[in-house]
Structure 1
Amino acid sequence: MGIEVVVEGLTKSFGKQNIWQDVSLTLPAGEVSVMLGPSGTGKTVFLKSVIGLLKPEHGRVLIDGVDMVNSSEREIYETRKVFGLMFQDGALFGSMSLFDNIAFPLREHTRKKETEIRRIVMERMEMVGLVGAEGKLPGEISGGMRKRAGLARALVLDPQIILCDEPDSGLDPVRTAYLSQLLIDLNAQIDATMLIVTHNLDIAATVPDNMGMLFRRRLVTFGPREALLTSEEPVVAQFLGGRREGPIGMSEEKDAATLARELGAGPPPAPRPLVPQLEPSPGLPERRAVARRRERVLAMWHQLPEATRAAIRQSEAAAGGGVGGVAR
């Protein structure tokens, strides 16, 4: 099973520019979480801070008892081995075949024999649908295939935590839909904790168990997916609706006068309809995260807004689950 990730009071700046401050959240073990936010809100910086590639000024990131901000370089390096990181562009070596790209972490970090490396690499290539392309160079394949190769490479060391940075960037809607299903299928197979950074609304609406959003140098919200999808927070509603009206401007947040003018322009549009979460493909096991999440949501049931509870009942009814029948 995946490992819980606890983020406490994280603050990051570059020089005088504050990226975000006092971010606290918990990524539940084995569940899929998404971090949303407009471009330039520091989503990728957050990802790199979680894995210890960037050092925040304040706060902690606790992974199995190790603080990825304040521990020694040796402890951080060792703990980083529980992560698999899927970079935005795949980050493949252009002169290496897909096989050698995917095998690279095994050759770099283990003493496995080539026969064992080949078995592992071919298993991971089969998981992401790349069998038959192992001899191709990254420049000879499509962007979607490069994404899947990057994901296969992230999986070869059997990570307990998988971080995906904008996995949909450069993909058309059809390939994005395939990738969304692939992420759910992987979670069903390996039960890893997953954090996906994106601004793609289709991924956000169909993939995660939990969702958060960064805006104006803070974490606006983080919790069960239904809480964010039914949120009346103006910035969340604007982002999910893809509208011009709201706090998000073209280059930065809008001033109070502009927001007041928009507020008087008419009733707000209807919220984005709630769509069912993706389920694993036929033949795959059920995601173990579903039962764990159900217990967690029940424990916080009376703290949730009524709109969120109604949405959870709707989701559970669609999936044949039991929260709606237990909590009223």
Structure 2
Amino acid sequence: MGIEVSVRNLTKSFGSHQIWRDVSLTLPAGEVSALLGPSGTGKSVFLKSLIGLLRPDEGEIVVDGVDIMRCSARELYEIRTLFGVLFQDGALFGSMNLFDNVAFPLREHTRKPESEISRIVMEKLELVGLVGAEGKLPGEISGGMRKRAGLARALVLEPQIILVDEPDSGLDPVRTTYISQTLIDINTEIDATILIVSHNINLARTVPDNIGMLFRRELVMFGPREVLLSSDEPVIRQFLGGAMIGPIGMSEEKDEAQMAHEQALVDAGHHAGGVEGLVGIAPQMRPTPGLPERRAVARRRERVRRMLPTLPPEARDAIADDLDAARVMAR
């Protein structure tokens, strides 16, 4: 099973520009989480901080009981072996074919014989649907195939935590769905802890067990999908609805005068963008037929049931209906 990652009071700045402050959240072990937010809110900075590529100014990042903000270089190296990372562009070596790209971590960090490396590489390439393309260079394949090759490479060391940075970047909606399905299937098979950084609305509503959102240098909310998707928090409703009306603007945030002006336009019949009725608890993506049910789902639903008494009545009703529907589908 995957490992819990706990972040407490994390703050990060570049010079005088503060990226985010006092961010606290826990990625539940073995579940899929997504971190959302408008462009420029520091989502990728947060992901890179989790593996020590960037160092926050303050706070704690506890992985497997070790605070990587205060550990030795050797301890950090050991902690990093627990992670697999899929960067936005796949981060493949252009001069290596896909087989050698995927094999690279095994050759660098293990002493496995080539026969064992070959078995593992082909197993991961099959998992992401790239068997037959192992001899191709990254420049000879599509962006979607490069993403899948990057995911295969992220998996070869059998990580317990998988970080995925903008899996939809540069991909059309169909190929984004294929990547999303692959991540769900991987979680089903190995019960890894997965964090997806994204601003894709459809992915956010259908893939993760838990959702968080960064806005105005703060974490607005983080919790089970049912809680976030039924939230009446304005910035969350605006983001998931893809509408202009709300706190998010072209330059990230709006003042009250601009928000009042836009609301007046809507009241006068001006279309505000987005999709009417989009916000709600959409059905979650399920594993590919033939695979077992994801263990993460039962763990999350039990946590949601314990939270119900603390939620607003509208949220309780929406979540109760969703849990009932899920129970019927599972029969």
- AA aligned to 2:93 is F
Give SS of 1:320's match. Answer: helix
CA distance in structure 2 between the aligned counterparts of 1:233 and 1:43, rounded to whole angstroms? 20
**Larger deviation, residues 285-294 vs 48-57:** 285-294
Residue of structure 1 aligned with 2:327, choices 311, 314, 320: 320
Corresponding residue for residue 138 of structure 1: 138
- CA-based RMSD of the aligned residues comes to 1.7
**Larger deviation, residues 273-282 vs 204-213:** 273-282
Corresponding residue for residue 53 of structure 2: 53
Residue correspondence of structure 1 range 93-108 to structure 2 within 5 A: 93-108=93-108
- AA aligned to 2:79 is T
Residue correspondence of structure 1 range 207-226 to structure 2 within 5 A: 207-226=207-226
Corresponding residue for residue 92 of structure 1: 92
CA distance in structure 1 between the aligned counterparts of 2:207 and 2:12, rounded to whole angstroms? 28
Residue of structure 2 aligned with 1:292, choices 289, 295, 299: 299
CA distance in structure 1 between the aligned counterparts of 2:125 and 2:225, rounded to whole angstroms? 30
Give SS of 1:220's match. Answer: strand
Pair 1:130–1:271, CA change in 2 (3 A): closer
- AA aligned to 2:227 is A
**8 A contact 2:38–2:252 mirrored in 1:** no
Q: Deviations over 1:207-231 (max 9, x none)?
A: 0000000000000000011222122
CA distance in structure 2 between the aligned counterparts of 1:97 and 1:314, rounded to whole angstroms? 49
- AA aligned to 2:326 is A
**Larger deviation, residues 222-231 vs 95-104:** 222-231
Give SS of 1:300's match. Answer: helix
- AA aligned to 1:277 is Q
**May I ask how many residue pairs the two structures share in their alignment?**
323
Alpha-carbon shift at residue 274 of structure 1 (Å): 2.9
Structure 2 unaligned blocks of 5 or more: none
* Residue 201 (1) aligns with residue 201 (2): yes
Query: How high is the TM-score relative to the length of structure 2?
Result: 0.94
**8 A contact 2:230–2:319 mirrored in 1:** no
Pair 1:28–1:181, CA change in 2 (3 A): same
Corresponding residue for residue 28 of structure 2: 28
Alpha-carbon shift at residue 271 of structure 1 (Å): 5.1
Give SS of 2:24's match. Answer: strand
Dislocated runs of 4+, deviation >3 Å: 263-271
Query: How high is the TM-score relative to the length of structure 1?
Result: 0.94
Corresponding residue for residue 326 of structure 1: none
Give SS of 2:99's match. Answer: helix
**8 A contact 1:247–1:254 mirrored in 2:** yes
Alpha-carbon shift at residue 314 of structure 1 (Å): 3.0
CA distance in structure 1 between the aligned counterparts of 2:182 and 2:322, rounded to whole angstroms? 21
Alpha-carbon shift at residue 9 of structure 1 (Å): 0.2
